[in-house]
Amino acid sequence: MAKAERERSLTRKAVLEAALQLIDRDGLEGLNMRKLGAALGVEAMSLYNHIKNKEDLLDGVIEMLLLQATYPERPNVSPYVELWDFAHAYRDVLRAHPRALPLVATRQLRTEPALAILERLVATLHRANVTGEQALYAVNSFAGFIVGHTFFDVTEIIAPSTSEEDDTAERWGRLPAKRYPHLHASVSDFSRWDPDQEFDFGLRALLQGLLPPEK
């Protein structure tokens, strides 16, 4: 396909998908308009027919990530289950795109599709009688837990360690037992540690604290 034809058939969705692929491969620092145009086989200037600037591009990438998380409207499902399922769906998306996590953690939602999902989350909280400023606290706590836990879960992918440092269990095992009795006694528990169970543990505690008991 000739470059001119590719430029005519280009869509905003294709631009955002290619941008996310570049981030997955090269990280945020590897994303620029020249490389994005080359990846799509078009001139960089043609991208501005679909995005306003790089800030708009980054907002669109966040939108793409949110839209990949399954969040169907289910009025007959309890708010607890709806939030539980969305949290797992969004976590799966973020784990599949770990190099985009710093972007998600540092930018607000601005595009209409992204704001529509935020609207759904707040509506779900309102349905659970979490309203006013408490709904704002709740949605920030909910999003912060998902992004924060996933960030720590994939840290080795985002910023691989360059040291020969031992893992946590080995370090704790060498601690003086008299000075750190509880840390030392916890060493054997690391063999049973599982990030998925940890996520469920934290999410369950969060939702039980945020939502009033169901009648």
Give the CATH number for residue 1: 1.10.10.60
The answer to whether residues 28 and 68 belong to one domain is no
Asked whether the beta carbons of 212 and 129 are under 8 A apart, the reply is yes
What are the CA-CA distances from residue 81 to residues 46, 77, 136, 179, 211 (Å)? 44, 6, 19, 43, 11
CA distance 168 to 145: 22
Helix axes 112-127, 54-68, angle to 10 degrees: 40
Query: What is the count of structural domains for the chain?
Result: 2
The answer to whether residues 88 and 21 belong to one domain is no
The answer to whether residues 195 and 94 belong to one domain is yes
pLDDT in tens, 39-59: 999 999 999 999 999 999 999
Q: Would residue 156 count as lying in a domain?
A: yes
The answer to whether residues 26 and 91 belong to one domain is no
The answer to whether residues 71 and 95 belong to one domain is yes
| Residue 125 burial by Cβ neighbours in a 10 Å radius (0-12, 13-18, 19+) | buried
Q: Of 66-70, 131-135, 201-205, which gets the smallest average pLDDT? A: 66-70
Q: What does the pLDDT read at residue 156?
A: 65
The whole-chain average pLDDT of the chain stands at 91
Structure pTM?
Answer: 0.89
The answer to whether residues 26 and 90 belong to one domain is no
> If you average pLDDT over residues 29-37, what whole number do you get?
95
Q: Of 27-36, 80-89, 165-174, which gets the smallest average pLDDT? A: 165-174
Which of 160, 167, 156 is closest to 191 using CA atoms?
167
Q: Would residue 56 count as lying in a domain?
A: no
pLDDT in tens, 68-104: 998 877 878 999 999 999 999 999 999 999 999 999 9
| Residue 114 burial by Cβ neighbours in a 10 Å radius (0-12, 13-18, 19+) | buried
The answer to whether residues 66 and 44 belong to one domain is no
More confident residue, 194 or 159: 194
Asked whether the beta carbons of 24 and 60 are under 8 A apart, the reply is no
The answer to whether residues 47 and 65 belong to one domain is no
**Which tokens is 131 given?**
């309203």
The answer to whether residues 17 and 115 belong to one domain is no
Q: Is residue 142 predicted with pLDDT exceeding 60?
A: yes
Q: Is residue 173 predicted with pLDDT exceeding 90?
A: no
Which of 11, 33, 51 delimits the end of a domain?
Answer: 51
The answer to whether residues 41 and 81 belong to one domain is no
Positive/negative CA dihedral, 136, 140, 141, 143: positive
More confident residue, 37 or 75: 37
- Grouping H, G, I as helix, E, B as strand and the rest as coil, residue 1 is coil
The answer to whether residues 69 and 11 belong to one domain is no
Asked whether the beta carbons of 151 and 108 are under 8 A apart, the reply is no
Specify the CATH number for the domain of residue 148: 1.10.357.10
Q: Would residue 23 count as lying in a domain?
A: yes
Asked whether the beta carbons of 122 and 135 are under 8 A apart, the reply is yes
Q: How many H helices and E strands in the chain?
A: 12, 0
> If you average pLDDT over residues 173-195, what whole number do you get?
90
Parent domain of 18:
1-51
